[in-house]
Structure 1
Amino acid sequence: MSLSLALERPLLAGFAGAVAMAAAMGFGRFFFTPVLPGMMSGIPLSAADAGLIAGGNFAGYLAGALLASQAWAAGRERWLALAGLSATALLLAAMAVTTALPLFILIRFLAGLASAFAMIFTSSIVLPYAVGRSAVQSVHFGGVGAGIAFSSVVAFLIQRAAGDAAHGWRLDWIGGAVIVLMAALFVARHLPKPVHGRQAAPEPPMAWTRPLVLLTLSYGLFGFGYVVTATFLVAIVRMAAAGPAVEAGAWLVTGLAAAFALFLWQPLARRLGLGVCYLLCLLLEAGGVFASVLLPPVSGALLGGLLLGLTFMTVTAYGLQIARALAPDSPRRALALMTAAFGTGQIVGPLVAGWATEWSGSFTLASVLAASVLLISAVLMMPVVRHA
């Protein structure tokens, strides 16, 4: 291998990972957000129905994350990553062929499982190439935000082309499926083979220190608090009648901010520490959730989307890093338990938000509740900061 190829390969791996993350997460997991308003008006669906569908997707993601953490997958990472992407494309298309709520929930559950496989196994391949190269990791995880941004443009263009058709939301899902399939073909060509080290020794049981307990509770509440805006932001804009451009713009701002968030927070993390940045992100995110429903529709949606994008990937990544540092003898167990806490919050959040919206007639109550939960998450984190 030439020197230039050796230098380029890590960045190529990071870029392949970014495309996979954009497809699996930006489309497979979060495309529901810009398509949801069309489904709510065209089928129609209630906010409670939408919460059930979103909860099903996050339950599938949690199941996929727990399955992927088991030893059976060793040696099959690349095949499973590509299978997850291919399944994501098929399941996006499947959303266009039904209007039955139970089938929507089942399809989104399976899509959550597939996106978890694609994300986890792609990351397990790419991240070894990021050792000593922070840019590779940032490019890889920045793919989530890039996918969210691109999905907002795709949904907007398809909806404009479809006009006021009651079934325009079906074209959204089909268009998303085509894009994910194209991404899967690119990833299949450029994703490198896994780098396998020695078999890891079994980890001892978790030592539940007070900081680790507080961090896990905080992380679970963060899952609840962020997911309400991440699921319903475009629907909030639609209910406020701010117009299609603001609907697309709010989600585009979210994605662009998320794509660069880890780059932007990195200098502060070096200076202030991961714990302080985690805490600041929770406070900023709570402010954004409040803003999305309490400010005028245009400024509220754009500010809410911006603060969501700047913070949710950073809290996700820094929370897991802090957990590994607090449980140095059992890092894999710590990550699994943090993922379980986060996943539980993600499942409960849309359900509560949907029911609260049905009861109150607007998304204000659900968003204020989510922002309050984020503030509680920040309070729980305060004693942990000095240990992070």
Structure 2
Amino acid sequence: MTAITGALAMAVAMGLGRFFYTPVLPAMMTGLGLGPAEAGWIASANYVGYLLGAVLAAYGWAEGIERKVAISGLVATALLLLAMGVSSNVLVLAIIRFLAGLASAFVMVFTSAIVLSHGLAASKPWVQSSHFGGVGAGITISAAMFGLIILADSGWRTAWIMAAVLAFAGLAVVMRYLPRDIVRTGPARKEPPLAWTPSLAALTIAYGIFGFGYIVTATFLVAIVRVGGGSSLFEAGVWLATGIAAAPSVAYWMPAVRRVGHANVFALGCLVEAIGVAASVLVPLPAGPVIGGILLGGTFIMVTAFGLQLGRQLANESPRRALALMTAAFGTGQILGPVVAGYLADWSGSYTWASLAAAAGLLASGAIVLIYCRPRAA
């Protein structure tokens, strides 16, 4: 039940609170007259909030109240989804997305701390797969819902409002079943300052570059479909395929982790994802975006999760500080990604150059981890 609850929390905070912007974006751009640069700025505001939340989470103020902070973040997520459905001003939308990013970071850090500690205490490693799989489940459910909204000929505002309804339903379950506290071997205490090693520093840099590389396609994949002439229903279908690939991704990469280690799987995931990102713009419709969505979904949660696991191995005395600061680096990459992609799309008239830059970033991220982190991780 703890694993299911964690998955629901991640589905609400990440699958809905963060990534629902992707399928709704083309309709919002049409309805509000937004260009790629404006859409990129709104997306980046979310990632600025995520970065701030991750940095704040690195300090010890939440010791002993992790559950309260996580629940508060989920309440805020649901309310902010509703606010997106009744707003039109670009600045207001950016502020809403900033606050949603802040809330999602708190939920990710503190819910993960609770749920994963219970999984480790019970010697059940599959709890991690279930927990992070909630992101893909949230994407899948939201994509299916968005497809139904398209079939019903409803607008993008209805989509945001229905996302808020789903978020409140998930919140009710999480409030009932999320454990009260982290499993600790002793009383709550502040972790010691993080001891930076070359391997941990390299991993943190690589994690930030990965944030840049994956977020371009994660933000603009459905817009790529629309620019290529795909229908609204096909847009929803591509995002649905992304979510279906994402939900079990941590689980089906686990055998590879046991065989070759976190660092090698991180690098392999970056390579596979880079192929998908490039294919989304280089291979014509309908195959290109479908390949891109499946390879993106099948890797981005896994690389995110296993990167954090590798960080815990490299900073076992201060794992929460490492998780929070790596998430901050990740957030920095995410802030830059949509802004750069938006301006490149405005300049070139397509998302091709932006996606190829993202693919190059993914290859660089995997190479850094493969070179600098593999021996220590082994």
Indicate whether the TM-score tops 0.5: yes
In the aligned structure 1, how far is the partner of 2:364 from the partner of 2:231? 33
Contact 1:144/1:259, CA 8 A, preserved across alignment: yes
The residue type equivalent to 1:314 in the other structure is: M
Contact 1:274/1:322, CA 8 A, preserved across alignment: yes
The residue type equivalent to 1:137 in the other structure is: Q
Q: Percent identity?
A: 53
1:152 paired residue among 122, 129, 143: 143
Structure 1 position 54 matched with structure 2 position 43 = yes
Q: State the 1:144 CA deviation.
A: 0.6
**Structure-2 residue corresponding to 1:231:** 219
- Residues 339-350 of structure 1: matches in 2 within 5 Å? 339-350=327-338
**Structure-1 residue corresponding to 2:81:** 92
Contact 2:216/2:337, CA 8 A, preserved across alignment: yes
In the aligned structure 1, how far is the partner of 2:110 from the partner of 2:197? 28
CA offsets per residue over residues 126-174 of structure 1, 9 Å max, x none? Answer: 12221110122211111110000111111121122125xxxx1111111
Matched residue SS, 1:75: coil
In the aligned structure 2, how far is the partner of 1:205 from the partner of 1:81? 24
Contact 2:44/2:338, CA 8 A, preserved across alignment: yes
RMSD of aligned residue pairs (Cα, Å): 1.5
In the aligned structure 2, how far is the partner of 1:377 from the partner of 1:24? 26
1:181 paired residue among 168, 182, 185: 168
Contact 1:124/1:194, CA 8 A, preserved across alignment: no
In the aligned structure 1, how far is the partner of 2:252 from the partner of 2:191? 36
The residue type equivalent to 1:34 in the other structure is: P
In the aligned structure 2, how far is the partner of 1:288 from the partner of 1:73? 39
Structure 1 position 126 matched with structure 2 position 79 = no
In structure 2, the gaps of 5 or more residues are none
Matched residue SS, 1:162: coil
Structure 1 position 135 matched with structure 2 position 126 = yes
**Structure-1 residue corresponding to 2:323:** 335
The residue type equivalent to 1:180 in the other structure is: A
Contact 1:226/1:374, CA 8 A, preserved across alignment: yes
The residue type equivalent to 1:339 in the other structure is: T
Q: Which moved more, 1:290-299 or 1:79-88?
A: 79-88
Q: Which moved more, 1:256-265 or 1:321-330?
A: 321-330
In structure 1, the gaps of 5 or more residues are 1-11
Distance 1:86 1:327, change over 3 A: closer
Contact 2:40/2:342, CA 8 A, preserved across alignment: yes
Structure 1 position 243 matched with structure 2 position 234 = no
Q: State the 1:257 CA deviation.
A: 1.3
Q: TM-score, normalised by structure 2?
A: 0.94
The residue type equivalent to 1:136 in the other structure is: V
Q: State the 1:16 CA deviation.
A: 1.0
2:313 paired residue among 322, 325, 330: 325
Q: State the 1:333 CA deviation.
A: 3.5
- Residues 1-388 of structure 1: matches in 2 within 5 Å? 12-131=1-120, 132-162=123-153, 168-197=155-184, 198-200=187-189, 202-209=191-198, 211-384=199-372, 385-388=374-377
**Structure-2 residue corresponding to 1:6:** none
Q: TM-score, normalised by structure 1?
A: 0.92
The residue type equivalent to 1:349 in the other structure is: G
Contact 1:59/1:109, CA 8 A, preserved across alignment: yes
In the aligned structure 2, how far is the partner of 1:192 from the partner of 1:217? 33
Contact 1:24/1:115, CA 8 A, preserved across alignment: yes
CA offsets per residue over residues 292-317 of structure 1, 9 Å max, x none? Answer: 00001211111101111111111111
Q: State the 1:190 CA deviation.
A: 1.8
In the aligned structure 1, how far is the partner of 2:113 from the partner of 2:200? 24
Contact 1:59/1:347, CA 8 A, preserved across alignment: yes
CA offsets per residue over residues 11-54 of structure 1, 9 Å max, x none? Answer: x0111111111111100010000000100111111100110011
The residue type equivalent to 1:234 in the other structure is: V
